Copies of this chain bind each other. A is one copy, B any other.
Amino acid sequence: MQDERVRGELTMADVLAAQARIAPFIHRTPVITSHALDAILGCRAYFKCENLQRAGAFKARGAHNAVFQLSEAQARAGVVTHSSGNHGAALALAARNRGIPATVVMPANAAEVKKSAVARYGARVALCEPTLEARERTTAQIIAASGAELVHPYDDLRVMAGQGTVALELLEEVPDLDVVLCPVGGGGLLSGVAVASKALRPAIRVVGAEPEQADDAHRSLRAGRRLPPGHPHTIADGLRGALSERTFAVIRAHADDILTVSEASIITAMRSAWEILKVLIEPSAAVPLALLMQHRTLAAGGRVGVVFSGGNVDLERLPWQS
């Protein structure tokens, strides 16, 4: 059956090239473990702490991989993206590191803390109405006016390859994993992680974790075709995006499954990570841990890599506080 599936265009060579390209600009993040949490989970879990990555999320990897393969001429015109979250800050950081201009299109109602994160890295914030149409129109206007290169949050092979370097580092540190889990929103991370993990260790299972309340990837994988997103209303704000044709093709070809978790389990997992592992993870990053807590058979007794994707949270309002 494998041969009949549409193979994505992303290759291990792309991920390896990304690793060399971005190494000077990103953290090699630690992998942490806890006997106490293993006892709760019934497996041995290895947490790859991309919440400790520059700008607080794995997004720094894909953004740097895109920005640092622009030609000199392209680079001079700068980069643009639309993001109300971690990718915007990551692209701003990557552009600053290359010394080129960046613009991030954000909805006017985005959280102040997110706008200021982008501005802190020296990028321009372009506000628009909070609709898909306004976002695309504003982005197109900026490209038309400046010639800036669009670096999409996930529908971009350079970005997908950069995100895959998470798995390279994880498997270099813990080579004999049975399973790798990572969150799925638009699918950039899962695409890269699946390609890299299967190339290094063909027997590994790669499973995406998605909120029940934003389960387009889960449904699409089951249906064998890309289904439209519903109206995602999950606390995991980084996972509200929907797969693109490009990420769907790679995930279909290389990932084993996508499973979903409840909102309550996301909050429980997030709190467990804070309390037991002593690291801050954002709700989106808690989704794979929630999956491991909810589906005990997924890796019973085995060795599981879990990608903690980011740690950007508002410390004034914690989800377990009333």
Contacts and interface: CB of A to CB of B under 8 A. Distances in A.
Interface in A191-232: none
Nearest to A276: B56
Contacts of A51: 278
A52 B35 contact: no
A30 interface: yes
B278 A56 contact: yes
A275 interface: yes
A246 to B, nearest CB: 30
Given A30-B30, A32-B30, A277 B315 contact: no
Contact of A274 (B30, B36, B271, B315): B315
A118 to B, nearest CB: 13
Interface in A49-81: 51-52, 54, 56
A145 interface: no
A274 B52 CA distance: 11
Interface string A301-322: 0000000000100011010110
Contacts of A318: 315, 318
Among all A-B residue pairs, the 5 with the closest Cβ atoms: A278-B311, A30-B30, A278-B280, A51-B278, A52-B278
Interface of A: 27, 30, 32-33, 35-36, 51-52, 54, 56, 120, 271, 274-275, 277-281, 311, 315-316, 318, 320-321
